[in-house]
Amino acid sequence: MPIPSLRPWAPAVALAAAALAGPSAAAVDTAKGAAVFAEAKVICARDAGRLWGRSLCGPILVVEPSDRSLIANQADAKGALKPADGVFVGVLPKSENIAATATEWSGTRWTELAWPLLPDDASKRHVMLAHEMYHRIQPDLPLGVTSGGDNAHLDTLEGRYLLQLEWRALAKALTAPDAAARRRAIADSLLFRGQRYALFPAAAADERALELNEGVAEYTGVRLGLTTPQARTAYAISDLKPYIPDATFMRSFAYATGPSYGLLLDRADPAWRGKLAPGRGLDQMLAAALRLPPANLAVLTAREAAYDGDGTLRAAEVKRDAAMKARAAADKATLADGPVLVLPLKHANYQFNPQTLRPLGELGTVYSTLRLVDDWGVLEVEGGALMAKDGKSVSVSAAGIDPSGLKGSGWTLTLKPGWAVGPGGRGGDLALTAPRSGHP
C-alpha cells in the first residue's frame, strides 16, 4: 500500500499544464520537470551510494493532477512515454493513483511525484526528493518495507500527549550543549515513549514498524537532501513542530520522529544503519548505543512537568479529545449504524492524507479523503469512508441513493464493466455484485 509523503505545511509549486489529447500532445512544462530531475541527480551524485550502499538514482516521473499529464526522466519499459525536450512525456492512466510514493507502472519502478506537493523552498524540496527516492530502492535493502499498524492510540488523549512530550524532549536532545545534557533529554524522550507503550500494548510494534518505513525515509531525506549538520538539525526540529491540533498523528508521527532518532543515532553509533532489522525500533537502537537503563516510570509525573510546566499542552489535548469523541459518534452513526455501501478490498491501491485519519475503535479507521483503486474500479471520497480494521472492506454512506446510483454524499464510484451495485447484508445497505462468469 503506498503511503504518500504529504506535508501540509509545504508550499506548492504552481505549474500549469494543458489538457492532453494523448501522449504525443502533452503540453507539460518540460523545463521545470528537467530542473527537478537535475536536482535529484545532484543529490544522488553527492551521496554516491554511501548512506545505504546503493545509489538513490533511478526512474522519476512527475504528474500534473489536473489532467494526469506526466514528465519522466527516462523511458518506460513498455514504451508508453514519448521523448520531448530531453525528457519523456505522457499521460498517467486513471487506474493509477497520483501521490508522492514509489510505484510500478508500465513495466518500470518509479519515484512518483505530484506537482502540488513539490515545495518552493529548495531545502524542503530536496528532502522530499531524497525521501521518495529512498522508497524506490527500499524493497531491495536488507530492512525492506514495513507497514505498521493503524496506531489508533495516537489519536487518544494520553497517546497524543505523551508523543508530543517525546517530541519536546527530542528537540531538546538535538540542541543540547553537551553529551551529558543530550543523554538526559534522550532518556526523557524514551521515558515518555515507554509510558505510551505501557498504556497501549500494540503501540510498540505498530509505531516501530511505521517508523522503520516512513521515519527512516524522512531521515534519509534530511541526511541526503541537506548538506550541513546545522541544516539537518534545524530541519529535524522543524519536523517536530508543524502539526496542528486538528491533525492526527496516526500515520504522520514517523515523519517527525524518524529524522530526530536517526540524527541522534548518527552521533551515538555511526554504524547503526547496518544494524537495522524488522522489529528493531530506532528507540531501542538509541538506548542500546547509549547503554541507557530501562525507563523509570516512577519519575514520569516530574518529567512531564519539566516539559509542560504550565499545563497548556495537556489542557489543549483534553479539549481536543472531547471534540473528537463527538466526531466519532457522528462517524459511527453515518458510516456504521446507518445504511452503507460496502466495497470489498482484494488488490487495493489507495492514496490519502495521513494527517486526516480518524480511528473508530474496532470498526476501523475513517479516511476523510481517499482515492481507492481495486478490481471493481475507482472510489473517490471527499466526505469520509470507513476502512474496516481487518483491511478487507471499505464503506461509504448509502443514505439517499438507490442500488443503481454510483454517487453518494461525498463520494463517487466508477465501476468496471460487469460490476454492479445491489442489496447489502442489512436493510438499506448496498454491496457490489461481481461480473458473471464469462463476462467480457
CB neighbour class for 130 (10 Å; exposed up to 12, middle 13-18, buried from 19): buried
Q: What does the pLDDT read at residue 242?
A: 60
Q: What does the pLDDT read at residue 294?
A: 94
The beta strand positions in 224-359, using DSSP E, are 340-344, 349-351, 357-359
Render pLDDT for 254-265 as a digit per residue (tens, 0 to 9): 999 999 999 999
Q: Are strands 340-344 and 69-72 parallel, antiparallel or unpaired?
A: unpaired
CA–CA gap between residue 112 and residue 62 (Å, rounded): 6
Between these two residues, 293 and 244, which has the higher pLDDT value? Answer: 293
Q: What does the pLDDT read at residue 149?
A: 75
Mean pLDDT value across the chain: 89
CA–CA gap between residue 355 and residue 313 (Å, rounded): 19
Render pLDDT for 125-160 as a digit per residue (tens, 0 to 9): 999 999 999 999 999 998 888 777 789 999 999 999
Q: What does the pLDDT read at residue 243?
A: 57
C-alpha cell at 392: 478487507
Q: Which of 396, 109, 331, 21 is closest to 406 using CA atoms?
A: 396
Render pLDDT for 310-358 as a digit per residue (tens, 0 to 9): 999 999 999 999 999 999 999 999 999 999 999 999 988 888 888 888 9
- 3-state class of 374 per DSSP? strand
Residue 9 above 60 pLDDT?
no
Instruction: Tell me the pLDDT band of 245, cut-offs 50, 70 and 90.
Output: low
Q: Which of 120, 116, 72, 79 is closest to 98 using CA atoms?
A: 116
Render pLDDT for 157-216 as a digit per residue (tens, 0 to 9): 999 999 999 999 999 999 999 999 999 999 999 999 999 999 999 999 999 999 999 999
Instruction: Tell me the pLDDT band of 403, cut-offs 50, 70 and 90.
Output: low
C-alpha cell at 282: 530506532
Placement of cell 525507563 in the chain: 295
At 340, give phi and psi (nearest 5°).
Answer: -135, 155
Radius of gyration of the chain (CA): 23
Q: What does the pLDDT read at residue 49?
A: 96
- 3-state class of 387 per DSSP? strand
Global pTM value: 0.83
- 3-state class of 237 per DSSP? helix
Render pLDDT for 60-83 as a digit per residue (tens, 0 to 9): 999 998 899 999 999 999 999 999
Q: What are the residues whose beta carbons fall under 8 Å from the beta carbon of 32, sequence distance 6 or more?
A: 13, 15
Residue 8 above 50 pLDDT?
no
Render pLDDT for 73-127 as a digit per residue (tens, 0 to 9): 999 999 999 999 899 999 999 889 888 889 999 999 999 998 855 667 899 999 9
Q: What does the pLDDT read at residue 201?
A: 92
C-alpha atoms less than 13 angstroms from C-alpha of 136 in its C-beta half-sphere:
25
